[in-house]
Structure 1
C-alpha cells in the first residue's frame, strides 16, 4: 500500500485534469513486495499523429498485476514486469529488483478453492503472492496464465 499527503502534491498537479494528481513523494506503507509494470500507452495528438509513451505503474497486489497484464496483452503493449522485494530482517537494508517472466496460478495446499498467483523470476525462482509463507513445492495444480516479455539488460 502507498500513502500520500497533500504536502507532497506537486505544484503543477492540477495540470493533469480533474481527479488526477502528481506527487513528488509517496510512502510505502507496509514493507511488502511491490510490482512495477511498464507498458506502452498509445495516443493521438491534435494533428492526428500517433505516438507512444512509456508508462510505469507500481501495484501492491498480484491480482492487480494479472488484471493489468490481461488488459494489455491483446494490444501487445506490455514491456516488462518486475518485483521489488524488501530485504528481510534489518529495516535499513535495500530492496531487491527481479524481472518476472511468467504468471502462474496454483491451488493453495490447505484449500483447493483458493487460487494463488505465482510469479516466475528471471533467475528461475518463484514468488508466491500470499500473506502466508507457502513453499512452491506445496502448491498443486499449476497452470500458466501469462508469459511475460523478456527484458534485455543494458550494459
Structure 2
C-alpha cells in the first residue's frame, strides 16, 4: 500500500471526484495510515443520499478463511460515519454512538461493496443503514450506525 506523510484526498476512483464534486459536496480527505488504509477500504461514491465503498476480502479474513465480522463492522462504521459527517457539515462533528451488524452469509474471496443510506437525519443524531454485498450482489451483512452530531470545538 502506498503511504505518504501528507493528508490526501481519497480518490482511487474517477466516480469519487465526479459524484462528490457534482453534488457540491466537500472533497474527502483522510490522514495517512488510518484503519481504512490497512483494511483496503476505498470510498468510491459519496452523495447526500448515499456513500459507497469497497473492501477486499483478502487480508480481512478470520482464521477459518471467511471475511471477518469485524471487517464488516469497520466498513459499515466507515461508511456511516462519512455519511453522517457530510450531513453534519463543516461546523459539526459526527461521532459514532451505536453500531449493530447482522452477518447473513460468508464471503471467502473477492471484494465486498457497502452502501450507507440514511434512516434518520435529525438535529442531534443521524442513523444509517449499511448493506454489504459480495461480488455476486448477494447481501452478506446488514448494519445500522447511529452517530451523535455535536458542534466542533473552537
Q: Check whether TM > 0.5.
A: no
TM-score after normalising by structure 1: 0.28
Which structure's relative contact order is higher, taking Cα pairs within 8 Å and 6+ residues apart?
2
Richer in helix (by share): 2
